[in-house]
Amino acid sequence: MHNEQYFSKLQRVQELLVTTVLGDIPTLILGPKLRNLGYRSIFAQICSPVYIQNGVEFNGTCCIEIGSGVYIFKGVRMDARGHKNNRIHLANRVAIERNVDIGSLENTYIHIDEDTFIGPNVAIEGPGDIKIGKHCLIAAYSGIYANNHNFADPIEPIKYQGVTRKGIVIEDDCWLGHGVTVLDGVTIGKGSVIGAGAVVNRDIPPFSVAVGIPARVIKNRIGKDLSISSN
């Protein structure tokens, strides 16, 4: 136990040293190339080439895997601390725009598959597992939250009543518009479009168009308009 704690602290010191030295080197003076080389010593996996701008915060790098052709822009925070089984995996050609926050928390697997774009100021948060498929578009200010607070006891403060964690799946080729919120336990089917500002609190079938609070399916992309029959 003591050896594990010592090794964990040693890893954290190494992580801080490497990210502090390399993390703020400006993009214009070979910063991404130096980070691509130097970060290999602390990440679980980092392929080449990877483009990481200056000003990106990483925590728990031994639990983070980054594929080839990934772009991570300034202001991103990626935190895999909290459990040795945590894993954040960015597959090939994922793009993470500015000020995105990705947090795994506890025994959590967050997987973002190939060619997916995450827009600025998006939050992707465990502790439930989160899987985002290939070729997805997640627009700015969206939130994907794989947890719910328990609140059955009116006496006990809510913060001490624990959380549930069912997990979230967003299948391939989905488009989430600006400011969409996806709540725990939801699966969004392949090829679906979620309108701006929607709150998704139940499963969405494949190839659906859904809008509103809570999100309601109004159309199937294969051709059936549901907006009249559902009223």
Q: Verify whether residue 149 is a known catalytic residue.
A: yes
Task: Label the pairing between strands 148-149 and 187-188.
Answer: unpaired
Distance of CA 163 to the CA centre of its chain: 19
Question: Exactly one of 89, 111, 135, 149 is catalytic; which is it?
Answer: 149
- pLDDT computed for residue 84 by the predictor: 83
Q: Where are the domains of the chain?
A: 2-220
- pLDDT computed for residue 25 by the predictor: 82
The 3-class SS string of the chain reads: CHHHHHHHHHHHHHHHHHHHHHHCCCHHHCHHHHHHHHHHHCCCEECCCCEECCCCEEECHHHEEECCCCEECCCCEEECCCCCCCEEEECCCCEECCCCEEECCCCCEEEECCCCEECCCCEEECCCCEEECCCCEECCCCEEECCEECCCCCCCCHHHCCEECCCEEECCCCEECCCCEECCCCEECCCCEECCCCEECCCECCCEEEECCCCEEEEECCCCECCCCCC
Cis peptide bond upstream of 206, omega within 30: no
Q: How far is residue 66's CA from residue 156's CA, in Å, rounded to a whole number?
A: 41
Mean pLDDT, consecutive 10-residue stretches, the chain (231 aa), reads: 53 80 76 84 90 92 95 95 90 98 92 98 96 98 96 94 94 98 98 98 97 96 61 40
- pLDDT computed for residue 29 by the predictor: 64
- pLDDT computed for residue 225 by the predictor: 60
pTM of the model: 0.88
Q: How far is residue 101's CA from residue 77's CA, in Å, rounded to a whole number?
A: 5
Q: How far is residue 201's CA from residue 144's CA, in Å, rounded to a whole number?
A: 11
CATH for 2-220, among 3.90.1150.10, 2.160.10.10, 3.50.50.60, 2.40.128.640? 2.160.10.10
